Every structure is written in structure tokens, then in C-alpha cells.
Amino acid sequence: MSPAEHGFWLVSGLFVLLALGLPIAASLLTCGLVGILAVQGWGAADYLLGTLPYSVSAEFAFIVIPLFLFMGHMAFSAGISEKGFRAATVWLGHIPGGLAISAIVACAAFATVSGSSIATAATISRVAIPELLKAGYSKSLAGACVATGGTLGVLIPPSTIMVLYSIATETPIPELFMAGIIPGILTVLIYGLGIYVMVKRDPKMRTITVHARTGFQERLRATFMSWEILLLFGIVMGTLYTGMATATEAAGFGALAALLIAISRGTSWNEIKEGLRTSGSSTAAIFFLIIGAGVFSAALATTQIPQSLSAWVGTLNLHPTVLIICLLIPFLILGCFVDAASMVLLTMPVVFPIVKQAGIDPVLFGILVVKMTEIGNITPPVGLNVFVVATTNPVLTIREIFRGITPFFFMELLVVALLIAFPSITLIAVR
Amino acid sequence: MSLRGGCQKLITASRSVTRAMAGVTGLLTIVMMLGVVLDASLRGTVGIAVWGVLELCTLLLLAMIYFGLPSTQSERENFRVSIITDLMPMKLNLFVSGILLLLQIVVLGLLCWFTWRAAIFSFNRDEVSIGLVEISLWPHRFMIAMGLSVLTFQSVISGLDLLLNGKHPFAPDQAIELAQTVRQQTL
């Protein structure tokens, strides 16, 4: 059997195992192990598989993952999302759709202290959805705006998915973090504008309660009341941007500050312990994926498939924009079935050599991949954010939220189109 | 005590042990955080680096990953695609999962074999890291082999749990309930 045929069976086997429901890490590990044994033989497998679990995980810089996860947990336990939502309401509550836009802004604010889209959706939905429903918003708009807003958790730094992309492609974390800020703001603006138009055009939404306009002093006070968010974002992004700290150090300072804020706000030891346990077990689950992806990549490399594929794509002479679109479409499909972390680690061994060969900026591609994983979090059937919002608010059904997602899905595609058409939106912060 | 009763006790004990391991490894986050902050602060203020903090944190990260892995199996927290299995009748779903669990046990068993051999080899050669601080690497490698062995054992326990109690080895109970709710709400 030729190496290419081995590669074909490897990838096909992976799809079969994934479809049958074996955990993604174990599927990658199984196919990778079988591939290495088949192509390289027992001797090479003995060396490769004996050392790979160490070489893919024993890296000081990877500490950033548990630290950012812990920081997000502490921010969640401290309940700082509530203040963020209140501040956003004071600023925006008086305009049509203002409360829903405030929920989006609160998601963006919480995203600056949490790297997880699920945590962001779960946190804000508890605070915002009862208020949205009370004000007369439809269940589908209320659920959909928070589920979609939650996706900002992985686009606005710090972001766990960006860290994983960085591990898979060796793109610097600070550059990815900086590059995520402007697309994050753009996404908030487009969501806000979209909600405004939806509320204005829908006659049923005319009965929505609109808050009274507040004075500048009150707005300023509400903003300062959410000082914890500003402080945490300042610590992480400030130290990174000024070059005072590496990503790992920034995560360390951020986690410590979040822990202190949580303690000062009366978070119990049991909650802190649960945060530590959850961060630890999420880290283990993520690294199981990284180990699986490492073994699978090693097997794939022996088949020469990534190299052959990038050489073949090179012969097509596609315009980089067309190539980016072609590379992103599978993510749109994959996002319907696979979670964000797995999607990045699963695809990068094959996709990234093509990106490099075509001269596409890895930072730009990283942000686009993160955007695609965001879309995956709200599209059926595996729209994790939708499930989270429905679980935290039993009054909403999954079907209602998915119905409300449609306009947001197109808004997301619009943002992706803008980022592809104008790469400087993403790259201006890093170049 | 009957064989069934003994197995049930083993399942419960194993879950408690893996949860406790996850709890302890979670605490390591605090040690890593303090180590990183202390090192960065001292370097930034008085220009002194904390000796060995980088190596210690790497060791702790490995402990966190490999001793945390058994808990991800016992709590069924590993990422998976359930789109097809959710549509299967429960009995077929459990049967397929049982076969896949066997495959996982074989693969993990093989990986344990390779990592134990690498650990023993590292110990015999007294393999050391190249860097500012020279430390032996065999504890790291033994930790990996031990963690993977406990994970393999936990997978066997999940198999027992499937046989005795009909518990899905990969999907948490809430996920199965959620899949049923989704099916009811969307079909």
C-alpha cells in the first residue's frame, strides 16, 4: 500500500470512529497509532509513541490554558457579569432594542475576562434573559442574542481557542490576542445594528419596554462600578500589549487578580475548589485532544498527505481570497457537529501547511478560524451555546432559540466577509 | 460479598479516587499561578529569577494533565461527536459504545506499554533536561506512564459500569437526557 493510500484509510477511519461516537481524542489516538504502526513499523512506533505524550505536553507556555480557564471560572463565581450588564443597560437601555444590545455588550465585557464562549453565554443568560423577557422581547430573540453574544468569549481575548490555534500552528499568542480585539468590536457593532433594525421593523416588538435615558454622570458611575472587568482586562491585555509580560505571565497575574476579586466578593472555598477542579479536568480533556492530535499528525506526516495536498493546491493557482473561502467552508460544515477545540486541533495538521504555502497570514487565518468556530457554537444540531442558554433558562426551548439564531448567523457571515475583504481590520493591531 | 457487589464497590471507589485526583490536580493551578507571578514579579522588580520555577511548573502541568485524565473518563467529559449515536435506539447506542470502549482500552494499553518502556529507558540513562536548570526527566515520564495506566484502568471500570448498570461509557447522563429533549423538540 502506498503512503497516500495509507493516508486515505487513516482519514476515513478517523471519520468512521468520530461518527460512531468514540471520544475525539481517542479516535485521533487510535488512527494515529494504527497509522504509525502500519507505515513505520513497531520499532519506530516504540520510539515515537513512547516520547510523543511527553513532547506534546511538557511545555511551560502551555500553563496558559489552566490559568485562563481558572481566571474565567473565578470571574464567573465572583458574579462580575451582572455589573457589566447593568453598566451596558445604563448606556444603551433607552434605544430601541437597547436591552438586547446591552446583553451583547455585557457578553463582550465578560469575554474580556473569560476565554470560553460557553461560560460567557451561561453567565450572561442568567442575568440578561429574565430582564429581556420581562421587557417584552420575544423568547427567540432573547435566547438567540445571548447565545450568539456568548460566542464573543472566544474572539475577544483572552481566548482558549486562540491558545489552541497557537499551539497547533506556532503562531504567537500575543499577536492572536491583539488581532482579536477589532474583529470583536466589529462583531458587537454589527450585532447591535442588526438587533436595532430587527426591533424597529418588527411590529410585535413595538410594545417592548425602553428604559429612560440616563445622564452622563450616572453612566460614568455605572461604568466605574464594573471596575473588576476593566481591571482584569487591563492586567491581561495591558501587560501583553506593553510587552511587560508573556502570555503565561499575563495569565498568571489575571488568574491571581480574579481569585482575589472572587474572595473579596465572598466566593466560598467550595466554589473556588470546584473552579479549580473544573479547570483541572478541562485542561486534561483539552490536552488529551492535543496528545491525540499530536499522534495523528505524526502518522499523517509519514503518509505525506499534508505536503501532497498543499502542493496540489499550489498547482491550482487560486487567488488567496478564494483559497481562504475554500478553506473556511469545511469549518462551517464541521462546526455543525464538532466543538471548537476539537475542530481546531483536528483540522490544523492538514489545513495549516496549505495556509503557509499560499502565503496567507497565519494571524488573519487564525481569527477567521475562531469566527468559524463561533458560528459552529450557534448552528444546529450541536450549537453548544444554544443548549447552555436553554439549560440555564428552562422557560426557553431549543427550537425557539435556534429560530432566533438565523439573522445572527447571517450577521456572522457578514463579519467574516468583511474580515476577508479587508484583512487590515484584523492585522492593523499587530502590524 | 457477591461478585456483582464487589464490582459495584470497585466502580464507586474508582470514581471517588479519580475525582479526588482531579481535585488535587486542580489545586496545582494555584501553585503554578503563584510560581509564575512570583517569578515574573521578582524578575521585573529586582531582576532575580526564581530558580527552577519553569521546570517545576512544567512538571506540575504534566501531573495536572495525566492525573486529571482518569477523571475525564469517569465523569465522561471527553469531547465527542454524538450526532449519529443520538439517533440510535439506546440499546444499539450502548452496544456500539461498548465495542468502541474495547478499542479504546486496547489503544490506551498499547500507549501505556510504549510510555512505560520510555520511562524505564529514561531512568536507566538518567535522562536530563537541557536548560538553565538540569533536572532528571524520568519522573516526568513515569508520571505520564502512570497517568495513562490509571486512565486505561478507569476505561475498564467504565466497561464494568456499562455491563452492570447500562451506563454509557462516553456520554454523561445529562447529555443523553438533552439529546432526548432535542429529539422531542425538533422532530
Average pLDDT of the segment spanning A203-222: 80
A51 neighbourhood in chain B, CB within 8 Å? 118
3-state secondary structure of A136: coil
- Please give, rounded to a whole number of angstroms, the shortest distance from the CA of B13 to a CA of chain A: 18
pLDDT score of A362 more than 60:
yes
Q: A249 in contact with B at a CB cutoff of 8 Å?
A: yes
Q: Is A22 on the interface with B (CB under 8 A)?
A: yes
| Residue of A366 and A229 predicted with greater confidence | A366
Provide the pLDDT for residue A244: 84
Task: Report ipTM (2 d.p.).
Answer: 0.92
Alpha helix positions (H), A56-172: 64-78, 80-92, 98-111, 117-134, 139-150, 152-155, 160-169
Q: What is the pLDDT of residue B182?
A: 64
With 70 as the cut, is the pLDDT of residue A369 above it?
yes
Q: What is the mean pLDDT of residues A243-266?
A: 91
Predicted pLDDT of residue A417: 96
DSSP state of A203: G
Number of neighbours of residue B90 by Cβ within 10 angstroms = 12
pLDDT at residue A305, as a whole number: 79
Interface test with A, best of B125, B132, B182, B186 (most A CBs within 10 A): B182
Residue-level pLDDT, tens digit, chain B, 187 residues: 688 888 999 999 999 999 889 888 889 999 999 999 999 999 988 988 888 898 999 999 999 999 999 999 999 988 888 878 888 888 999 999 999 999 999 999 999 999 999 999 999 998 988 777 788 899 999 999 999 999 999 999 999 999 999 999 998 877 667 666 666 655 4
CA quadruple A249, A252, A254, A259: dihedral, nearest 10: -170
Greater confidence (A10 vs B119) lies with B119
Angle between helices B3-45 and B138-165 (to 10 degrees): 140
Q: SS3 string of B9-73?
A: HHHHHHHHHHHHHHHHHHHHHHHHHHHHHHHHHHHHHCCCCCCCHHHHHHHHHHHHHHHHHHHHH
CB contact at 8 A, A259 and A113: no
Confidence band, pLDDT 50/70/90 cuts, at residue A46: very high
Q: Give the pLDDT score at A384.
A: 81
In this predicted structure, what is the pLDDT of residue B186?
Answer: 54
CA distance A401 to A407: 12
Q: What is the DSSP string of A269-287?
A: HHHHHHHHHHHHHHHHHHH
Q: What is the pLDDT of residues A305-358, one digit of tens each?
A: 777 887 888 788 888 899 999 999 989 888 887 888 888 988 898 899 999 988
Give the pLDDT of residue A36.
92
Distance from C-alpha of B64 to C-alpha of A42, rounded to nearest angstrom: 30
DSSP of B88-137, one letter per residue? S-HHHHHHHHHHHHHHHHHHHHHHHHHHHHHHHHHHHHT-B--SSS--BS
Is it the case that residue A280 has pLDDT exceeding 60?
A: yes
On whether any CB of chain B is under 8 Å from the CB of A243, the answer is no
Q: How far apart are CA A60 and CA B141, in angstroms?
A: 16
- Which pLDDT score is estimated for B183? 62
Give residue B1's pLDDT: 67
- Whether the upstream peptide bond of residue A320 has omega within 30° of 0, thus cis, is no
Please check the confidence at residue A180 and state whether its pLDDT lies above 60: yes
The arithmetic mean of pLDDT across residues A116-122, rounded, is 84
Tell me which residue in A50, A58, A399 faces B185 most closely, judged by beta carbons.
A399
In angstroms, the first-to-last Cα distance of chain A is 47
d(C-alpha A367, C-alpha A387), whole Å: 24
A427, A179 Cβ separation under 8 angstroms:
yes
Q: Report the residue from A20, A244, A288 with minimal CB separation from B96.
A: A20
CB atoms within 10 A of CB A189: 13
Q: For residue A9, is pLDDT > 60?
A: yes
Comparing A418 with A336, which gets the higher pLDDT? A418
The pLDDT of A167-188, averaged and rounded, is 94
**Total CB pairs under 8 A between chain A and B:** 205
Interface test with B, best of A63, A73, A261 (most B CBs within 10 A): A63
Residue A382 has pLDDT above 80, yes or no: no
Contact list in A for residue B32 (CB cut-off 8 A) is 63, 66-67, 252
- In A226-268, which ranges are continuous DSSP H helix? 227-233, 239-241, 247-264
Cβ separation of A253 and B37 shorter than 8 Å? yes
To test the contact with chain B by mutation, choose from A33, A248, A277 the residue with the greatest count of B C-beta atoms within 10 A, namely: A277
A273 close to B (CB below 8 A): yes
Query: Is the pLDDT assigned to residue A245 strictly greater than 60?
Result: yes
Which pLDDT score, from 0 to 100, does residue A368 have? Answer: 97
- Looking at residue A308, what is its pLDDT? 80
Inter-chain contact A21–B33, Cβ cutoff 8 Å? no
CB-based contact, A61 to chain B, within 8 Å: no
Number of C-beta neighbours around residue A399 at 10 A: 16
The cell numbers describing A142, all together, are: 432573547
pLDDT (0 to 100) of residue B13:
94
- pLDDT category, A175, cuts 50, 70, 90? very high
Distance CA(A417)–CA(A321), nearest Å, equals 10
